[in-house]
Structure 1
């Protein structure tokens, strides 16, 4: 398998993070040009703002954050400085992009909102412009982001797409992720990549969810019990959901995390991928071959591959790996029935030898980011218990057979007695002919 290397807002004072206008230079917006973007009061200013947002969206967010961190301690704010913002939505509206720019910018409108500081001592409103916001975002939801200062007071900021933390998440998984600081707004784009390989677009949220799941080993929120076929039938409905799934492990691989940024984000230089099999019940899954390959559909009956990833393994599983392959093992074949709790990520695709037998094409399967792995093998106590139950059952069966034989014997004796009495009565009542006649 492939390994996974008008909304009103309460405002917030942005954190001051001056970077000597480096961000403005990268974007091609000096102070004079930024002055043409704000306030957005006509077609010309709307067009300039749309162009600024277009460029912000195409600059790596890590780079903007890097710039923002360079001079966080300065006391003054200047136009084109990098600013962090965080707060609660109070107001939101949409601004139309000039028609002549729509095709070029691939944007028909952008978002204007105000946010309120979560700090009760600071109620200064910040006007925020961003290219988009999740369609489910409402007043009261929290947002967080980084962008470029539009005025000297820091009260207006143009940002890269904001992170979104809904006040009323649609399910338990979204609630847990939001509380852990994971950008729930990114899940819609994750779902849009179903049945596609993992790409750079997955990197940020994948590692964030992997780190968040590791902190939820003892979480009391009950996961939603599901079957593998549920994830195949409706993956979008389960994206980010907190689930429980029974599978059987096949192979465990330790994956190295090389990039320092991801090591810091994850808090580790590796994680684990578990290749497993989930039960399909009576469902048969067919994957069509590639076009013009002439192959037949690949068929899966009863069981289907499921991919699991986790930051760490439970002690019992580490011990099992050490016993079987040693502590330095990278890949360990290991078959164990387990129950996992975790977050469904999406269906991902990967090349496989099995699919090549049917004309090629990628196989797709569920990818789950795991918090807990529980062994479903019977324990010694369970085995003793089963034996005791077997002995009791055998004894009960023996008693049953004995009782049946005893009942048959009693019934047989009773039947013989009844027959004998009947014959006696018949003999007394019938007049037999005289033998002398």
Structure 2
């Protein structure tokens, strides 16, 4: 059904017969291996998040829910409260094979307005919750389907089903590995649990695993730039970001560079347009100054030539708006022909998203499987840098700096290139052309840019 035609979750649960909802018996315990529950959990990942968000009720009368649960079966409710604990349930082998998930997480939440604990049967929770000892007491949000009223000692317990629970921590915690970066992200609507996956995906191309976190962070950058909050940005330490990207992901940074090409990426996903109010963004292919440093990759075999960067290093910036000066420069370059490039000094404050990789003519001169790593940032809008602010570019002569050999980057990317050749080819074939090229000037011949249109089909 079209999203506009869906009025309740039962219309989306096409694998559940109406009579099967009667298997939820209010007042009884709800076992995790309940057959209808498993059917619902199997179906939930196939719901569009925008559908769930649109159907979710925020004005729940908990006394009514307790008194007449049958009238509210599988209604979507927005749950916001404090997660107390997580119990892992291993699905029986036959059910795991049938419903395509082998674990279920029973998440106990306390909501201020609920007369009893809320038990969310979820498919995904943050790994940090599973590793923590003792009571979690973590702020979280979920759009979940109401199942039944069970029992918790002498009082009621409300059971729900959800695909995942969003983690929005409100304060730093050493035990939970939550610092100011994670608190800032959560404050602006980013599910911090998604960052666990992003940190595992450095030195890889973009694909569906990056989809949700990318747009959440892009929307968060807009929230910071257009809101009243005053967030202190840290200067971007390029070498450290290249060597240890996971230590900096999600940080709000101040960055200088030169814009070389700008591509408009149209967001085809109705789900993203509805939830984040984003119908396009701009990919700015840029160069970051390396200062008095020469960056060189260590080769797998001693004595081989390696990619070397003496003046600047490629970086990628994704923004929602262009300042008038940059838009004018983009149009001028566009009118000059497909090979025309920019050379505009820019500065911006934004989130460091990940160290991604793409196919490059420069790196493939050394090994056809070697891909170009590039720090990716998301921001609301860049600014044209003044001459004084673009001083990092003065005096950057090749060979005049301190040589830094990045062994981690070369080896990790080279090995990844061998594993992911087939996937990269599939992604390339599925990509649709956008309004312009993508990172394919300056000998950076990209075949997979930060464009998720191939995932929207």
The TM tier, using the shorter chain, reads 0.5 to 0.7
Query: 1:334 Cα shift?
Result: 1.6
Residue 180 of structure 1: aligned partner: 188
Helix, strand or coil: the match of 1:26? coil
Deviations along 1:50-98, one digit per CA (max 9) or x if unpaired, are 8457515643443761783699999865465142232221521314425
Q: How many residues align?
A: 353
Residue 406 of structure 1: aligned partner: none
Q: Is the 8 A contact 1:47 1:101 kept in 2?
A: no
Deviations along 1:89-144, one digit per CA (max 9) or x if unpaired, are 15213144256469746645623312314x6xx65532222234224456442212
Once residues 26 and 331 of structure 1 are traced to their aligned partners in structure 2, the CA distance between those partners, rounded to angstroms, is 52
Which of 9, 15, 23 is the aligned partner of 1:26?
15
Residue 126 of structure 1: aligned partner: 118
Deviations along 1:164-191, one digit per CA (max 9) or x if unpaired, are 1012243443223212222121111111
Residue 204 of structure 1: aligned partner: 212
Residue 390 of structure 1: aligned partner: none
Change (3 A) 1:131 1:267: closer
Residue 46 of structure 1: aligned partner: 32
Query: 1:278 Cα shift?
Result: 1.7
Helix, strand or coil: the match of 1:216? helix
Once residues 265 and 207 of structure 2 are traced to their aligned partners in structure 1, the CA distance between those partners, rounded to angstroms, is 16
Once residues 39 and 331 of structure 1 are traced to their aligned partners in structure 2, the CA distance between those partners, rounded to angstroms, is 66
Residue 166 of structure 2: aligned partner: 163
Query: 1:226 Cα shift?
Result: 2.1
Q: Is the 8 A contact 1:348 1:367 kept in 2?
A: yes
Tell me, which stretches of 5 or more residues in structure 2 are unaligned? Answer: 1-5, 130-134, 151-156, 173-177, 392-457
Residue 348 of structure 1: aligned partner: 356
Helix, strand or coil: the match of 2:250? coil
Residue 234 of structure 2: aligned partner: 224
Change (3 A) 1:315 1:172: farther
Once residues 139 and 302 of structure 1 are traced to their aligned partners in structure 2, the CA distance between those partners, rounded to angstroms, is 48
Once residues 50 and 279 of structure 2 are traced to their aligned partners in structure 1, the CA distance between those partners, rounded to angstroms, is 22
Change (3 A) 1:331 1:129: farther
Deviations along 1:251-283, one digit per CA (max 9) or x if unpaired, are 222222233332334434321111111233424
Which of 49, 60, 85 is the aligned partner of 1:62?
49
Q: Is the 8 A contact 1:249 1:275 kept in 2?
A: yes
**What value does the CA root-mean-square deviation take over the aligned residues?**
4.0
Note the 1:351-362 alignment, pairs <5 A: 351-361=359-369, 362=371
Q: Is the 8 A contact 1:19 1:71 kept in 2?
A: no
* Pair 1:86 & 2:79 matched: yes
Helix, strand or coil: the match of 2:29? coil
Residue 286 of structure 1: aligned partner: 297
Deviations along 1:301-354, one digit per CA (max 9) or x if unpaired, are 44221100000022332344456657x999972212332210111111211222
Query: 1:150 Cα shift?
Result: 1.8
Once residues 215 and 125 of structure 1 are traced to their aligned partners in structure 2, the CA distance between those partners, rounded to angstroms, is 33
Once residues 18 and 270 of structure 1 are traced to their aligned partners in structure 2, the CA distance between those partners, rounded to angstroms, is 28
Helix, strand or coil: the match of 1:46? coil
Once residues 166 and 66 of structure 1 are traced to their aligned partners in structure 2, the CA distance between those partners, rounded to angstroms, is 20
Once residues 374 and 235 of structure 2 are traced to their aligned partners in structure 1, the CA distance between those partners, rounded to angstroms, is 18
Residue 407 of structure 1: aligned partner: none
- Which structure: larger Rg? 1
Q: Is the 8 A contact 2:79 2:142 kept in 1?
A: yes
* Pair 1:143 & 2:152 matched: no
Residue 267 of structure 1: aligned partner: 277
Once residues 225 and 357 of structure 2 are traced to their aligned partners in structure 1, the CA distance between those partners, rounded to angstroms, is 28
Which of 310, 315, 318 is the aligned partner of 2:324?
315
Q: Is the 8 A contact 2:50 2:275 kept in 1?
A: no
Change (3 A) 1:268 1:133: closer
Once residues 231 and 65 of structure 1 are traced to their aligned partners in structure 2, the CA distance between those partners, rounded to angstroms, is 37
Which of 264, 267, 275 is the aligned partner of 1:254?
264
Tell me, which stretches of 5 or more residues in structure 1 are unaligned? Answer: 1-16, 383-437
> Could you tell me the TM-score, scaled by structure 1's length?
0.68
Once residues 98 and 324 of structure 1 are traced to their aligned partners in structure 2, the CA distance between those partners, rounded to angstroms, is 58
Change (3 A) 1:329 1:269: farther
Change (3 A) 1:215 1:69: closer
Once residues 370 and 245 of structure 1 are traced to their aligned partners in structure 2, the CA distance between those partners, rounded to angstroms, is 11
Once residues 278 and 125 of structure 2 are traced to their aligned partners in structure 1, the CA distance between those partners, rounded to angstroms, is 32
> Could you tell me the TM-score, scaled by structure 2's length?
0.65
Q: Is the 8 A contact 1:227 1:278 kept in 2?
A: no
Helix, strand or coil: the match of 2:257? strand
